[in-house]
Amino acid sequence: MVHPVDATTRNEIAEKVEVEIPTVIPSVENPDSLESVEPTAGNKSLLQKAIAKEITGEYYEAGKLYSAAIRENLRLADAYLGRGRVLVKLGRYDEGILDYKRAVKLESIRNGDLIYVDPKSKVEFRFVLVLPGEYSVGYSEKQRIEVAKASDQLLFGHNASPAQKVQVTTGFFVLDREITVGQYEAIVESTASATLNEREPPTMSALDDHTESSIAEESMPQSSDTSVAKANVSWTEATAFCVAFQRRIGLEVRLPTEIEWECAARGQTERIYPWGVAVSDSEGIDTLQPSVDVTPSGIHGLAGGLSEWCMDSYENRLFDGSCTVVKYTPSLKRFETPKRQSVSPLVANILSRLPQKDMAASVEMSHKSVRGGSDQDTRFNQQFPVRRSRVASQQSPNVGFRPVLLLSFAR
| Range list for CATH 3.90.1580.10 in the chain | 129-177+252-409
pLDDT of residue 359 exceeding 70: no
Alpha helices in 231-386 (DSSP H): 235-249, 258-266, 345-352, 356-364
Most confident of 18-22, 34-38, 148-152, 196-200: 148-152
Q: How confident is the model at residue 208 (pLDDT cuts 50, 70, 90)?
A: very low
Helices 59-72 and 41-55 pack at an angle, to 10 degrees, of 170
DSSP code string of 194-225:
S-HHHH--GGGGGGTT--GGGTSPPSS---S-
- Listed in order, the ranges of the chain carrying CATH 1.25.40.10 are 7-112
Nearest residue to 91 (alpha-carbon basis) of 58, 54, 53, 122: 122
Helix (H, G, I), strand (E, B) or coil at 172: strand
Is residue 199's pLDDT more than 50?
Answer: no
Spatial separation of the C-alpha atoms in residues 21 and 167, rounded to whole Å: 37
Residue 340 in this model has a pLDDT that exceeds 50: no
Summary mean pLDDT of the chain? 79
pLDDT of residue 9 exceeding 60: no
Q: Is the pLDDT of residue 308 over 70?
A: yes
Burial environment of residue 263 by CB neighbours within 10 A (0 to 12, 13 to 18, 19 or more): buried
- What is the CATH class of 7-112? mainly alpha
* Percent of the chain residues past pLDDT 90, beyond the cut: 53
Range in 216-225, 294-303, 400-409 the model is least confident about: 216-225
Tens-place pLDDT, residues 212-267: 222 223 333 455 688 999 999 999 999 999 999 999 999 999 999 999 999 999 99
User: CB of 127 within 8 A of CB of 111?
Assistant: no
Q: pLDDT digit string (tens) for 60-70? A: 999 999 999 99
Assigned CATH topology for domain 129-177+252-409: paralog of FGE (formylglycine-generating enzyme) (3.90.1580)
Q: Which amino acid is at 207?
A: L
